[in-house]
Amino acid sequence: MKAAVLRGVGRPLAIEELKRPEPKQGEVLVKVRACGVCHSDLHVMKGEAVFPFPAVLGHEISGVVERLGPGVEDLGEGDEVVCTFI
Protein backbone atom coordinates (compact mmCIF):
# COMPACT_ATOMS: atom_id res chain seq x y z
CA MET A 1 0.00 0.00 0.00
CA LYS A 2 1.14 3.58 -0.54
CA ALA A 3 1.42 5.99 2.38
CA ALA A 4 2.80 9.44 3.08
CA VAL A 5 5.58 8.77 5.61
CA LEU A 6 7.18 11.35 7.87
CA ARG A 7 10.70 10.29 8.89
CA GLY A 8 11.51 13.19 11.20
CA VAL A 9 10.80 16.75 12.26
CA GLY A 10 11.23 19.24 9.44
CA ARG A 11 11.55 16.52 6.80
CA PRO A 12 9.19 16.35 3.84
CA LEU A 13 6.53 13.68 3.59
CA ALA A 14 7.61 10.87 1.26
CA ILE A 15 5.22 8.61 -0.63
CA GLU A 16 6.42 5.07 0.13
CA GLU A 17 5.24 1.54 -0.52
CA LEU A 18 4.49 -0.17 2.81
CA LYS A 19 3.44 -3.71 3.68
CA ARG A 20 -0.34 -3.95 4.03
CA PRO A 21 -1.12 -4.65 7.70
CA GLU A 22 -3.30 -7.53 8.84
CA PRO A 23 -6.09 -6.50 11.22
CA LYS A 24 -5.70 -7.83 14.76
CA GLN A 25 -8.36 -8.79 17.29
CA GLY A 26 -11.16 -6.22 17.19
CA GLU A 27 -9.61 -4.24 14.31
CA VAL A 28 -10.58 -3.65 10.68
CA LEU A 29 -8.46 -2.76 7.67
CA VAL A 30 -9.87 0.29 5.88
CA LYS A 31 -8.98 1.27 2.31
CA VAL A 32 -8.72 5.05 2.61
CA ARG A 33 -10.67 7.03 0.02
CA ALA A 34 -10.12 10.48 1.57
CA CYS A 35 -8.03 11.88 4.41
CA GLY A 36 -8.08 15.30 6.05
CA VAL A 37 -5.06 17.07 7.48
CA CYS A 38 -5.62 17.77 11.17
CA HIS A 39 -3.79 20.53 12.99
CA SER A 40 -2.28 17.86 15.25
CA ASP A 41 -0.53 16.42 12.18
CA LEU A 42 1.07 19.83 11.60
CA HIS A 43 2.22 19.93 15.24
CA VAL A 44 3.96 16.57 14.76
CA MET A 45 5.62 17.75 11.54
CA LYS A 46 6.95 20.87 13.31
CA GLY A 47 8.16 18.96 16.39
CA GLU A 48 5.58 20.60 18.66
CA ALA A 49 4.13 17.22 19.69
CA VAL A 50 5.95 14.08 20.82
CA PHE A 51 5.46 11.35 18.24
CA PRO A 52 7.53 8.31 17.19
CA PHE A 53 9.14 8.29 13.74
CA PRO A 54 8.75 7.07 11.10
CA ALA A 55 5.08 8.03 11.17
CA VAL A 56 2.10 7.71 8.87
CA LEU A 57 -0.03 10.71 9.77
CA GLY A 58 -3.68 11.31 8.98
CA HIS A 59 -6.35 10.11 11.37
CA GLU A 60 -9.42 11.82 9.87
CA ILE A 61 -10.34 9.38 7.14
CA SER A 62 -13.21 7.94 5.17
CA GLY A 63 -13.01 4.68 3.30
CA VAL A 64 -14.23 1.14 2.80
CA VAL A 65 -13.70 -1.84 5.11
CA GLU A 66 -11.41 -4.30 3.28
CA ARG A 67 -10.77 -6.93 5.93
CA LEU A 68 -12.08 -7.86 9.35
CA GLY A 69 -9.93 -8.91 12.27
CA PRO A 70 -11.03 -11.68 14.63
CA GLY A 71 -14.00 -10.80 16.80
CA VAL A 72 -15.39 -8.00 14.63
CA GLU A 73 -19.13 -8.50 14.27
CA ASP A 74 -20.65 -5.03 13.83
CA LEU A 75 -18.98 -4.21 10.49
CA GLY A 76 -18.62 -6.09 7.23
CA GLU A 77 -16.30 -6.05 4.25
CA GLY A 78 -17.45 -3.34 1.84
CA ASP A 79 -18.99 -1.14 4.55
CA GLU A 80 -18.28 2.56 4.13
CA VAL A 81 -16.84 4.14 7.28
CA VAL A 82 -15.46 7.37 8.69
CA CYS A 83 -12.80 7.32 11.40
CA THR A 84 -11.38 9.86 13.78
CA PHE A 85 -8.65 9.95 16.42
CA ILE A 86 -11.06 10.76 19.26
Is the confidence at residue 86, as pLDDT, over 70?
Answer: no
Cα gap 20→72, rounded to integer Å: 19
In angstroms, the Cα distances linking 43 to 19, 30, 40, 54, 68 are 26, 25, 5, 15, 32
Is residue 54 pLDDT above 70, yes or no? yes
- What is the reported pTM? 0.82
The average pLDDT across 53-69 equals: 95
SS3 content of the chain, % helix, strand, coil (to 5): 10, 40, 50
Please check whether the domain covering 2-83 is classified as CATH 3.40.718.10: no
Q: What confidence score (pLDDT) does residue 66 get? A: 98
Mean pLDDT, residues 39-65 taken together: 93
Domain ranges of the chain: 2-83
φ, ψ of residue 29 in degrees (nearest 5):
-100, 125
Q: How confident is the model at residue 67 (pLDDT cuts 50, 70, 90)?
A: very high
Higher-pLDDT residue of 15, 86: 15
Over the stretch 11-22, which tens digit does the pLDDT of each residue have? 999 999 999 999
